[in-house]
Amino acid sequence: MTIQIDHLHKSYGSGAEAHEVLHDINLTIDSGEVFGILGSSGAGKSTLVRCINLLERPTSGKVLIDGRDITGAKGKELADVRAGIGMIFQNFSLFQQRTVLRNVTFPLELNHTPKAKREERARYLLDLVGLADLADRYPSQLSGGQQQRVAIARALANNPSIMLCDEATSALDSTTTAQILDLLRRINRELNVTLVVITHSLSVARNICDRVAMIDGGRIVEMGDTEELFANP
Protein backbone atom coordinates (compact mmCIF):
# COMPACT_ATOMS: atom_id res chain seq x y z
CA MET A 1 0.00 0.00 0.00
CA THR A 2 1.10 3.56 -0.62
CA ILE A 3 1.84 5.66 2.46
CA GLN A 4 1.63 9.41 2.02
CA ILE A 5 2.73 11.90 4.67
CA ASP A 6 1.54 15.41 4.01
CA HIS A 7 2.82 18.49 5.89
CA LEU A 8 3.13 16.54 9.13
CA HIS A 9 4.14 18.35 12.31
CA LYS A 10 4.39 16.70 15.71
CA SER A 11 4.87 18.38 19.08
CA TYR A 12 5.08 16.78 22.49
CA GLY A 13 3.57 18.68 25.42
CA SER A 14 1.27 21.67 25.09
CA GLY A 15 1.19 25.43 25.68
CA ALA A 16 4.48 26.86 26.90
CA GLU A 17 5.84 23.30 27.30
CA ALA A 18 5.22 22.36 23.65
CA HIS A 19 8.27 21.04 21.86
CA GLU A 20 8.05 20.36 18.12
CA VAL A 21 10.03 17.25 17.16
CA LEU A 22 8.87 16.84 13.54
CA HIS A 23 8.69 19.84 11.21
CA ASP A 24 6.75 19.75 7.94
CA ILE A 25 7.47 16.17 6.86
CA ASN A 26 6.36 15.35 3.30
CA LEU A 27 7.01 11.99 1.70
CA THR A 28 5.39 9.20 -0.28
CA ILE A 29 6.32 5.56 0.19
CA ASP A 30 5.23 3.49 -2.80
CA SER A 31 3.50 0.15 -2.58
CA GLY A 32 6.04 -2.69 -2.56
CA GLU A 33 8.97 -0.44 -1.76
CA VAL A 34 11.66 -0.84 0.93
CA PHE A 35 11.92 2.68 2.30
CA GLY A 36 14.57 3.70 4.82
CA ILE A 37 14.29 6.39 7.46
CA LEU A 38 17.85 7.15 8.44
CA GLY A 39 19.05 9.46 11.20
CA SER A 40 20.89 9.64 14.49
CA SER A 41 19.36 9.07 17.90
CA GLY A 42 16.73 11.71 18.75
CA ALA A 43 16.24 12.77 15.10
CA GLY A 44 12.53 11.89 15.20
CA LYS A 45 12.50 8.55 13.36
CA SER A 46 10.40 6.62 15.88
CA THR A 47 7.96 9.48 16.28
CA LEU A 48 7.43 9.57 12.52
CA VAL A 49 6.79 5.86 12.35
CA ARG A 50 4.47 6.00 15.36
CA CYS A 51 2.43 8.58 13.43
CA ILE A 52 2.03 6.03 10.60
CA ASN A 53 0.58 3.28 12.80
CA LEU A 54 -1.29 5.87 14.89
CA LEU A 55 0.46 5.08 18.17
CA GLU A 56 0.94 8.88 18.05
CA ARG A 57 -1.29 11.46 16.38
CA PRO A 58 0.24 14.24 14.29
CA THR A 59 -0.21 17.73 15.74
CA SER A 60 -1.06 18.87 12.21
CA GLY A 61 -0.84 17.44 8.72
CA LYS A 62 -2.10 14.14 7.36
CA VAL A 63 -1.23 10.50 6.91
CA LEU A 64 -2.90 8.78 3.96
CA ILE A 65 -2.83 5.07 3.18
CA ASP A 66 -3.80 4.25 -0.40
CA GLY A 67 -5.23 7.75 -0.63
CA ARG A 68 -7.42 7.40 2.45
CA ASP A 69 -6.85 9.93 5.23
CA ILE A 70 -6.33 7.87 8.40
CA THR A 71 -5.14 10.74 10.59
CA GLY A 72 -8.31 10.81 12.69
CA ALA A 73 -9.16 7.09 12.55
CA LYS A 74 -11.08 5.74 15.55
CA GLY A 75 -12.82 2.56 16.59
CA LYS A 76 -13.08 -0.10 13.91
CA GLU A 77 -11.22 2.00 11.33
CA LEU A 78 -8.30 2.40 13.74
CA ALA A 79 -8.30 -1.34 14.47
CA ASP A 80 -8.28 -2.07 10.72
CA VAL A 81 -5.37 0.34 10.11
CA ARG A 82 -3.35 -1.27 12.92
CA ALA A 83 -4.14 -4.81 11.72
CA GLY A 84 -2.80 -3.86 8.27
CA ILE A 85 0.56 -2.76 9.70
CA GLY A 86 3.03 -5.18 11.28
CA MET A 87 5.76 -3.92 13.54
CA ILE A 88 9.11 -5.23 14.77
CA PHE A 89 11.54 -3.68 17.25
CA GLN A 90 15.16 -3.71 18.38
CA ASN A 91 14.34 -5.64 21.57
CA PHE A 92 12.01 -8.18 19.85
CA SER A 93 9.20 -7.56 22.43
CA LEU A 94 8.22 -11.22 22.68
CA PHE A 95 5.97 -12.56 25.41
CA GLN A 96 8.38 -14.47 27.65
CA GLN A 97 5.67 -16.65 29.21
CA ARG A 98 4.42 -17.89 25.85
CA THR A 99 5.95 -20.46 23.55
CA VAL A 100 7.15 -19.45 20.08
CA LEU A 101 3.92 -20.81 18.58
CA ARG A 102 1.74 -18.90 21.05
CA ASN A 103 3.66 -15.67 20.43
CA VAL A 104 2.72 -15.97 16.76
CA THR A 105 -0.92 -16.92 17.43
CA PHE A 106 -1.33 -13.96 19.83
CA PRO A 107 -2.57 -11.35 17.31
CA LEU A 108 -4.99 -13.97 15.96
CA GLU A 109 -6.35 -14.59 19.46
CA LEU A 110 -7.08 -10.87 19.73
CA ASN A 111 -9.30 -10.96 16.68
CA HIS A 112 -10.92 -14.26 17.64
CA THR A 113 -9.56 -16.40 14.82
CA PRO A 114 -10.57 -20.03 15.57
CA LYS A 115 -7.85 -22.09 17.30
CA ALA A 116 -7.22 -24.57 14.48
CA LYS A 117 -6.92 -21.78 11.95
CA ARG A 118 -4.52 -19.68 14.01
CA GLU A 119 -2.25 -22.65 14.67
CA GLU A 120 -2.21 -23.49 10.98
CA ARG A 121 -1.32 -19.87 10.14
CA ALA A 122 1.35 -19.71 12.86
CA ARG A 123 2.97 -22.95 11.68
CA TYR A 124 3.00 -21.69 8.10
CA LEU A 125 4.69 -18.44 9.23
CA LEU A 126 7.22 -20.22 11.46
CA ASP A 127 8.12 -22.38 8.47
CA LEU A 128 8.49 -19.23 6.34
CA VAL A 129 10.96 -17.68 8.81
CA GLY A 130 12.86 -20.96 9.25
CA LEU A 131 11.75 -21.86 12.78
CA ALA A 132 9.34 -24.75 12.19
CA ASP A 133 11.29 -26.95 14.61
CA LEU A 134 11.28 -24.46 17.49
CA ALA A 135 7.53 -23.89 17.88
CA ASP A 136 7.40 -25.27 21.43
CA ARG A 137 10.42 -23.41 22.82
CA TYR A 138 10.26 -20.26 24.93
CA PRO A 139 11.91 -16.99 23.78
CA SER A 140 14.64 -17.22 26.44
CA GLN A 141 15.77 -20.49 24.84
CA LEU A 142 16.44 -18.80 21.49
CA SER A 143 19.27 -16.70 20.05
CA GLY A 144 18.66 -13.02 19.25
CA GLY A 145 18.31 -13.76 15.54
CA GLN A 146 15.81 -16.54 16.23
CA GLN A 147 13.82 -14.24 18.53
CA GLN A 148 13.64 -11.59 15.82
CA ARG A 149 12.38 -14.27 13.40
CA VAL A 150 9.58 -15.08 15.85
CA ALA A 151 8.74 -11.36 16.06
CA ILE A 152 8.65 -11.18 12.25
CA ALA A 153 6.30 -14.18 12.10
CA ARG A 154 4.07 -12.54 14.73
CA ALA A 155 4.07 -9.24 12.81
CA LEU A 156 2.88 -11.13 9.71
CA ALA A 157 0.06 -12.98 11.48
CA ASN A 158 -2.70 -10.71 10.20
CA ASN A 159 -1.30 -10.61 6.67
CA PRO A 160 -0.33 -6.93 6.78
CA SER A 161 0.55 -5.01 3.62
CA ILE A 162 2.98 -2.74 5.51
CA MET A 163 5.69 -3.67 7.99
CA LEU A 164 7.47 -1.07 10.16
CA CYS A 165 10.93 -2.18 11.28
CA ASP A 166 12.26 0.01 14.11
CA GLU A 167 16.03 -0.63 14.51
CA ALA A 168 15.18 -4.31 13.99
CA THR A 169 18.78 -5.43 13.61
CA SER A 170 20.46 -3.01 16.04
CA ALA A 171 20.86 -5.66 18.76
CA LEU A 172 22.27 -8.29 16.39
CA ASP A 173 25.80 -9.10 15.20
CA SER A 174 26.70 -8.50 11.55
CA THR A 175 26.19 -12.08 10.34
CA THR A 176 22.76 -12.32 11.99
CA THR A 177 21.89 -8.83 10.71
CA ALA A 178 22.62 -9.94 7.14
CA GLN A 179 20.38 -13.01 7.60
CA ILE A 180 17.49 -10.97 9.01
CA LEU A 181 17.82 -8.40 6.20
CA ASP A 182 17.69 -11.24 3.65
CA LEU A 183 14.53 -12.54 5.29
CA LEU A 184 12.94 -9.07 5.25
CA ARG A 185 13.83 -8.68 1.56
CA ARG A 186 12.20 -12.05 0.83
CA ILE A 187 9.05 -11.00 2.69
CA ASN A 188 9.01 -7.74 0.71
CA ARG A 189 9.30 -9.58 -2.62
CA GLU A 190 7.33 -12.77 -2.04
CA LEU A 191 4.51 -11.43 0.14
CA ASN A 192 4.54 -7.95 -1.46
CA VAL A 193 4.82 -6.24 1.94
CA THR A 194 5.91 -2.58 1.86
CA LEU A 195 8.77 -2.17 4.34
CA VAL A 196 9.58 0.98 6.28
CA VAL A 197 13.02 0.49 7.80
CA ILE A 198 14.08 2.85 10.57
CA THR A 199 17.79 2.74 11.18
CA HIS A 200 20.78 4.74 12.35
CA SER A 201 23.01 2.40 10.31
CA LEU A 202 24.24 3.46 6.87
CA SER A 203 25.15 -0.12 6.03
CA VAL A 204 21.64 -1.40 6.82
CA ALA A 205 20.17 1.36 4.63
CA ARG A 206 22.54 0.53 1.78
CA ASN A 207 21.92 -3.19 2.10
CA ILE A 208 18.14 -3.25 1.94
CA CYS A 209 16.51 0.11 1.08
CA ASP A 210 15.33 1.14 -2.39
CA ARG A 211 14.99 4.75 -1.25
CA VAL A 212 16.00 6.62 1.87
CA ALA A 213 14.93 9.77 3.70
CA MET A 214 17.56 11.18 6.04
CA ILE A 215 16.14 12.94 9.08
CA ASP A 216 18.02 15.42 11.25
CA GLY A 217 16.48 17.54 14.00
CA GLY A 218 12.97 16.54 12.91
CA ARG A 219 13.42 17.57 9.27
CA ILE A 220 14.05 15.60 6.10
CA VAL A 221 17.46 16.81 4.99
CA GLU A 222 17.98 14.44 2.06
CA MET A 223 15.82 11.95 0.16
CA GLY A 224 16.35 9.79 -2.88
CA ASP A 225 17.34 6.45 -4.41
CA THR A 226 19.80 4.64 -2.17
CA GLU A 227 22.25 4.03 -4.99
CA GLU A 228 22.31 7.69 -5.98
CA LEU A 229 22.51 8.99 -2.41
CA PHE A 230 25.42 6.74 -1.54
CA ALA A 231 27.22 6.82 -4.90
CA ASN A 232 30.89 7.60 -4.58
CA PRO A 233 31.68 10.97 -6.19
- Can you give the binding site for ligand ADP, defined by CB under 6 A? 12, 21, 39, 41-47, 93, 107, 110, 154
C-beta of residue 5 within 8 angstroms of C-beta of residue 26: yes
CB of 43 to ligand ADP, least distance (A): 4
Nearer to ligand ADP, 158 or 178 (CB): 158
Nearer to ligand ADP, 47 or 169 (CB): 47
CB of 158 to ligand ADP, least distance (A): 7
Contacts 24+ apart (CB under 8 A), 190-194: 191/156, 192/31, 192/32, 192/161, 193/86, 193/156, 193/160, 193/161, 193/162, 193/163, 194/1, 194/2, 194/3, 194/29, 194/30, 194/31, 194/32, 194/33, 194/34, 194/35, 194/161, 194/162, 194/163
Kind plus residue range of the DSSP H or E element containing 9: strand 3-12
Nearer to ligand ADP, 110 or 221 (CB): 110
CB of 12 to ligand ADP, least distance (A): 3
CB of 39 to ligand ADP, least distance (A): 5
Nearer to ligand ADP, 178 or 203 (CB): 203
